[in-house]
Structure 1
Amino acid sequence: MSLKNWLEAPASGISAPGRPRLNMVRGVVARVTTPLLPDDYLHLINPLWSARELRGQIIEVRKETADTATLVVKPGWGFDFGYRPGQYIGIGVLIDGRWHWRSYSLTSSPSWNAKLIEITVKAMPEGFLSSHIVNGVPSGTIVRLAAPQGDFALSEPPPSKVLFLTAGSGITPVMAMLRTLDHREEVPDVVHVHSAPTTDDVIFGAELAALHDKHPQFTSHLQLTRSSGKFDLDKLDELYPDWRERETWACGPVAMLDEIEHRWRAEGIVDRLHTERFEIGQAAPVGEGGTVKFAVAGRTVVADGATTLLQAGEGVGVQMPFGCRMGICQTCVVPLVEGHTRDLRSGDVHGPGERIQTCISAAAGDCVVDA
């Protein structure tokens, strides 16, 4: 290992792309303060400074609808503002002494502000963290952040013709794309079909209307499902007959995306379709759980069959890599050394020697993971 790589290694998990000097400084800080944590010193100067993790501070909580709120976050040292519109970040919030993590789409444009980012969160009935964020997290809260990632992003340069199909909170990554095009004054021929139960449920409703009025080449089509039913894809031929020529980005409920993918595949234009799924289908039955040993960290925890290995590890202070926390990005993959685990999406059981995704795998009996 070269001297440069050795110096940077302690901070490699949060390295800033294209900023070698910053990465080396962070790594050096971590080296010289070992075995003490550099964060113990840096936090005294600025709570957003950390040599080992990305942090942020919530500076505003802004209501969008009755069950949706936008968090304006000031990221700390090392955050990469060169993210692509449509990407997501992980955010960790400390609640009752335990860190709770979830991934949310960035709704801000990378060109909007070099010091702030925004995420917009819809409270879900089964979503403990989303409900807390929308209804309870105060301004000033320090959060943990994961670096932006994801392939559901606006292409560069943007296509000459675009179709956005969204529903509910599926509008969030597309809003970042629309804001980016607007800020650049480079809005192409865009049709956006968005579905929501009522006008009060339309996230960013006023902003969509303003964009529609500002840019003649932008069409905002709102489908109010409570009064008009769901949007029928057959209407595309009538309303927007050139839809097959458009590069399409779609985000929304599983059933909606399944229908869109089926239609685009039947038309032979699936290569022009980009989808983002916030839900991963039906979960598998809960397994039996067991004792999980994290070999590298040297820690052990008893976990039930509904708790992911990632959550179980975080509960005992084991820091493992992660990204989307939904089984999509493959960032959390580690080897399974002993025992068996169960994929909570499919129910598949994995054994020793296989590589598993800790964010969607639970213990199926006692096991040892290389983490």
Structure 2
Amino acid sequence: MNAMTDLGLYRHLDEMAPWNDRLQVLEVIGVSDEAPDVKTFTFRSDNQTWFRYRPGQFVTLELPTTEGPMMRTYTLSSSPSRPFSIAVTVKAQAGSLGTRWMFDNLKPGVHVKAYGPAGDFSLHSHPAAKYLFISAGSGVTPMMSMLRWLNDCAPWTDVGFVNCARKPEEIIFRKELELLGSRMPGLTLGFMIEERSSREGWFGHMGRIDAIRLPLLAPDFREREIFCCGPDPFMRAVRQMLEAAGFDMANYHQESFAAPAVEEIPAPFGSPAEGGPAKSGPAEGGIEVPAEAATPIRFSLSDIDAECVAGQTVLQTARASGVRIPAACELGLCGTCKVKKVSGTVEMSHNGGILDHEIDDGFILACCSKPLTAIEIDA
């Protein structure tokens, strides 16, 4: 029987379990053009499960290229208010190998592995009476996820939506945004382009967002919770503009996959709260290990015993031992390399890629965790 006509597909949500990224993969069910070199890929679970996430979060796709698996992180443009599928909207740049591979190979029926969702860039983490979403280029995707959720669940919300693009035809989701503008009474749209196009006329704002244009697009921006996403130079300019305008930066949030300029190293996971990590001697859940000795690591699922040399991370040791742990950013941001620590103590210096309750449950990020004692990992 054709999968699309199989009556088994049509199940109530309470009859389905949430998607588990460690057990199931995604199936492509749709590919659509959004703008020049921009496509939306829509997926469903291969095991009839539903998707639970916060609008604005991201997933990591494992692309099976001929050169080997390629990990790429993409923000979800879909809304969790429609939990039977998820979508990513991606722009193919000249040197973007992963996205170009997706354009050439992802068709309906193709299966890919994915990890997540993850990330804290969501209005659910920062509830407010009024919002301002500022984006440029494909940075519109988390804003679209949040706006779609608001349209489905709280359409009266006061939202200013500012999107910048190079040309009118490069405004991603323009038609849908204009439709939402006619349906959501509290939504105010502001588009800004840098140059005119021969393909269509333009009578809106032109140039780049600055201290003069921002008050025209959002006169009360100082009263709003602001979310910003786009190229790093764009986000730096917005941040500097808001700081100069006296905006309370506690109400400013931006999405970025770049490494932070300064990393704060938290107390080692599993070590005493005071006095810092013990370099030698007995530690909770582990055995006594001299400070300079290689540290034993047991990869239980792979049935491999390895030794982590001083300064190496769990991920580096896994690779050297032939144990595969998926990893994308390797900066402690994306959460793809999250694994369960069964026993032992590690020092973990991450950048938001893991939640407090996950740490409490024994999970670590392999890319930024260094063992302080002998440890056992579910990998």
Residue 189 of structure 1 pairs with residue 170 of structure 2: no
Cα 1:231/1:157, change in 2 over 3 Å: closer
TM-score norm. by structure 1 comes to: 0.66
Q: Is the 8 A contact 2:116 2:335 kept in 1?
A: no
Q: Which residue of 2 aligns with 1:264?
A: 242
Q: 2:323 aligns with which of 318, 322, 339?
A: 318
- Report matched runs for 1:287-302 at 5 Å: 296=299, 298=304
Aligned counterparts of 1:51 and 1:66: Cα–Cα separation in 2: 31
Q: Which residue of 2 aligns with 1:103?
A: 73
Aligned counterparts of 1:241 and 1:220: Cα–Cα separation in 2: 13
Aligned counterparts of 2:329 and 2:163: Cα–Cα separation in 1: 24
Deviation at 1:131, TM superposition (A): 1.1
Cα 1:271/1:325, change in 2 over 3 Å: same
Cα 1:230/1:145, change in 2 over 3 Å: same
Q: Which residue of 1 aligns with 2:88?
A: 119
Q: Which residue of 2 aligns with 1:245?
A: 223
Residues 291-341 of structure 1, C-alpha deviations (whole Å, 9 max, x = no match): xx99746599xxxxxxx9969967996332647655424664899xxxxxx
Secondary structure (helix, strand or coil) at the match of 1:145 reads strand
AA matched with 1:210? L
Using the aligned pairs only, state the percent identity: 32
Deviation at 1:226, TM superposition (A): 2.4
Cα 1:150/1:210, change in 2 over 3 Å: same
Q: Is the 8 A contact 1:54 1:78 kept in 2?
A: no
Q: Is the 8 A contact 2:79 2:146 kept in 1?
A: yes
Q: 1:63 aligns with which of 10, 15, 33?
A: 33
Q: 1:54 aligns with which of 7, 24, 29?
A: 24
Deviation at 1:111, TM superposition (A): 1.1
Q: Which residue of 2 aligns with 1:94?
A: 64
Q: 1:205 aligns with which of 150, 166, 174?
A: 174
- Report matched runs for 1:130-145 at 5 Å: 130-145=99-114
AA matched with 1:136? N
Residues 168-207 of structure 1, C-alpha deviations (whole Å, 9 max, x = no match): 0000011011111111242411111101111111111111
Residues 260-304 of structure 1, C-alpha deviations (whole Å, 9 max, x = no match): 22333442511101110145599xxxxxxxxxx99746599xxxx
Q: 1:218 aligns with which of 164, 187, 206?
A: 187
Cα 1:299/1:96, change in 2 over 3 Å: farther
Q: 1:76 aligns with which of 46, 52, 58?
A: 46
Unaligned runs of 5+ in 1: 1-18, 24-48, 283-292, 301-307, 336-355, 362-369
Q: Is the 8 A contact 2:116 2:336 kept in 1?
A: no
Q: Is the 8 A contact 1:251 1:276 kept in 2?
A: yes
Secondary structure (helix, strand or coil) at the match of 1:54 reads coil
Deviation at 1:57, TM superposition (A): 0.6
Aligned counterparts of 1:208 and 1:312: Cα–Cα separation in 2: 47
AA matched with 1:70? T
Q: Is the 8 A contact 1:74 1:117 kept in 2?
A: yes
AA matched with 1:122? K
Q: Which residue of 2 aligns with 1:366?
A: none
After the TM superposition, which of the residue ranges 89-98 and 158-167 deviates more from structure 2?
89-98
Aligned pair count? 303
After the TM superposition, which of the residue ranges 166-175 and 86-95 deviates more from structure 2?
86-95
Q: Which residue of 1 aligns with 2:350?
A: none
Aligned counterparts of 1:184 and 1:51: Cα–Cα separation in 2: 26
Aligned counterparts of 1:312 and 1:110: Cα–Cα separation in 2: 37
Aligned counterparts of 2:48 and 2:324: Cα–Cα separation in 1: 19
Q: Which residue of 2 aligns with 1:353?
A: none
Deviation at 1:256, TM superposition (A): 1.5
Kindly report the root-mean-square deviation, in angstroms, between the aligned alpha carbons of the 2 structures.
4.7
Deviation at 1:237, TM superposition (A): 2.8
Q: Which residue of 2 aligns with 1:41?
A: none
Residues 28-54 of structure 1, C-alpha deviations (whole Å, 9 max, x = no match): xxxxxxxxxxxxxxxxxxxxx999533
Q: 1:274 aligns with which of 253, 260, 267?
A: 253
Q: Is the 8 A contact 1:83 1:148 kept in 2?
A: yes
Deviation at 1:214, TM superposition (A): 2.1
Aligned counterparts of 2:133 and 2:20: Cα–Cα separation in 1: 38
Q: Is the 8 A contact 1:171 1:194 kept in 2?
A: yes
